[in-house]
Amino acid sequence: MIDLQKGIVGIPTAHPAGEIIGRAAQLARAFRERSLPVVLINVTGRAPGRTDAGTATFSFPADWTELVAELDRHPDDYPVSKQRWGAFIGTSLHDYLRQRGVTQIFLTGIASSSGVESTARSAYDYGYNVVLVVDAMTDRDADAHRHSVEKIFPRLGQTDTTDNVLKVLHR
């Protein structure tokens, strides 16, 4: 599952967004070559609840919800538009994966401490085997990213790198 949309490209991140996008695109191509499902996730809104942090005070660009072109969306890719941090809540993602007999998911994305982590938590709760491709994700906050990768992700699944995943797929 890949969570990368145009709106993130101009936002400062702990790791260069271009490198993250490139690795996620490599993974998407490799999964498509093997006729494995590719889920592309974008954010179209937010949960209605109140928080201490408040709501965003900046305007989102017009193309905020569009996926980055590098992902080269294919007709067989499954799009998920989420309005929560995680991709499972309020979407048909779980039904889609179950109907295809999917038992393992690979996660990438730009918001490792929120979107990726929330999706991983739900996937784990649903019983999926979760692989978090840590060099194909980043966050706006380097400390939050590091905390997710080092403390949270090992409790929700397996962590790995793009190169290792690609090696397994090319066997």
> pLDDT of 120-145, one tens digit each?
999 999 999 999 999 999 999 999 99
> pLDDT of 76-118, one tens digit each?
999 999 999 999 999 999 999 999 999 999 999 989 999 999 9
Q: Please, what is the angle between helix 162-169 and helix 17-33, to 10°?
A: 10
Q: In the prediction, which pLDDT does 46 show?
A: 77
Helix (H), strand (E) at residue 40: strand 39-43
Question: Under 8 Å CB-to-CB from 19, ≥6 apart: which residues?
Answer: none
Q: In the prediction, which pLDDT does 8 show?
A: 57
CA distances from 138 to 12, 19, 75 (A): 10, 10, 27
> pLDDT of 20-67, one tens digit each?
999 999 999 999 999 999 999 998 877 777 778 777 665 666 777 788
For the chain, percent of residues with pLDDT exceeding 70? 91
Q: In the prediction, which pLDDT does 112 show?
A: 94
CA–CA distance, 34 with 136 (Å, rounded to integer): 20
Confidence of residue 10 (pLDDT cuts 50, 70, 90): low
Scanning the chain, the segments in alpha helix (DSSP H) are: 17-33, 93-99, 117-126, 142-147, 153-156, 162-169
Mean pLDDT of 153-158: 98
Averaged pLDDT score across all residues of the chain = 90
Question: Under 8 Å CB-to-CB from 50, ≥6 apart: which residues?
Answer: none
Residue with more model confidence, 3 or 76: 76
